[in-house]
Structure 1
Amino acid sequence: MRASDFRAGVLVLVLGVVALATAFGAQGLLGMAPCELCLWERWPYRVLIVLGVVALCVPPRPRRVLLWLAGLTLLCGAGIGFLHVGVERHWWPSPLPECNASNIVARSVGGLIANLPAAPAKPCDAPNFLIPGLPISFAAMDFILAAVCAVALLAYLSRSRAG
């Protein structure tokens, strides 16, 4: 069980690095502009990297706790991904003010200009498609990845605990 927990820690670390590398690669190399929800979707993977590194440096018992935290982090990531997919599909509006129109209620033109963002942001309901011809947005791919990995990690931890 100890060696397999160590391998699970390595996989958590690799998952975080690959997910962030993909996001930054799509942004830098493919020119995909991230919206505010896209940026939020990156945070769970940053947390996974930290949990993975720490899990590789601690004894087996705390490692197991860190792996459970990684599973919960992936569930949070899946939740953010699902929220973003819902915004993209217009099931609900984005809860983030950066994704919505700026506040146009102002007492003066100066107040209106002060409410405008410094640079126009990509709207959160405009999906990015990583693979041409595949009608699955980047946010949907993130949701699927996070959900599948969360279920797999939590199932592994539950099964190996019972065994």
Structure 2
Amino acid sequence: MTSRAPRIAAWLAFLLPASLLGGALISQYVFGLYPCEMCYWQRWPHWAALALGGIAVLSVRRVQGLGVAMAALAAVAIAISGLIGGFHAGVEYGWWEGLTRCATAAPVGGTTDDVLNSIMSNPLVRCDTAPWSLFGISLAGYNFLLSLAGAGAIYVLLRRRKTGTIAA
């Protein structure tokens, strides 16, 4: 009897980044929590993981080796986003200084007046200030916790053998 663990891992590798990206986009476009530069850094690995997880879901039943490999790569991308989130959370909590101070969504181009007006009309978002927190944990902190836990769960699921036990 073959284990369902690779299929579960593939679905987790797809649904976790989809959920985290969905939450980030909802918080941005519905609740007005504009992302800073480091928030964008966290999104890029999740976009990659979403694509890899999608391939894993589509291929795990047909070509199980490909599905497992894609889920494993998605887990790595998810973990990378989590580590970036951990670094960002440390910047927000004042544990260390970040690589950047602030970001704006102002487009570059046009006349000097156009650029200046665009900068002034767009929100300035600081990377060292958490715009929202729950139980003292910022969004970057939740990304850290959920991403590393999810990547670990995918890894454990992929280590299962045909009998359903965890390989040594």
- Give the TM-score band, short-chain normalised: 0.7 to 0.9
Greater RCO structure (CA 8 Å; 6+ sep): 2
1:68 to 52, 60, 72: 72
CA 1:130–1:90 in structure 2 vs 1: closer, same or farther (change >3 Å)?
Answer: closer
Aligned residues: 145
Residues 5-154 of structure 1 mapped to structure 2, 5 A cutoff: 5-58=6-59, 59-96=63-100, 99=101, 118=119, 121-131=124-134, 134-154=135-155
Instruction: Please tell me the residue identity of whatever aligns with 2:154.
Output: L
What amino acid does structure 2 have at the position aligned with 1:128? P
1:162 and 2:163 matched: no
CA–CA distance in 1 between the matches of 2:98 and 2:133? Answer: 22
Shift of 1:37: 0.5
Equivalent residue number for residue 107 of structure 2 = none
Contact 2:42 2:81 survives alignment (8 Å): yes
Q: Secondary structure at the match of 1:162?
A: coil
Whose helix proportion is higher, 1 or 2? 1
CA distance in structure 2 between the partners assigned to 1:124 and 1:12 by the alignment:
28
CA RMSD between the two structures: 2.3
Q: TM-score, normalised by structure 1?
A: 0.78
- Counterparts of 1:2 and 1:23 in 2: how far apart (Å)? 33
SS at match of 2:125: coil
For structure 2, which runs of at least 5 residues remain unmatched after alignment? 104-114
Separation in 2 of the partners of 1:129 and 1:153?
A: 28
Q: Secondary structure at the match of 1:128?
A: coil
Deviations 1:78-114 (A, max 9, x none): 1101110111112222124xx259xxxxxxxxxxxx9
Which structure 1 residue ranges, 5 or more long, are not aligned?
102-113
| Distance in structure 2 (CA, Å) of the matches to 1:42 and 1:62 | 24
- Tell me which protein shows more strand as a share of its residues: 2
Moved more, 152-161 or 70-79: 152-161
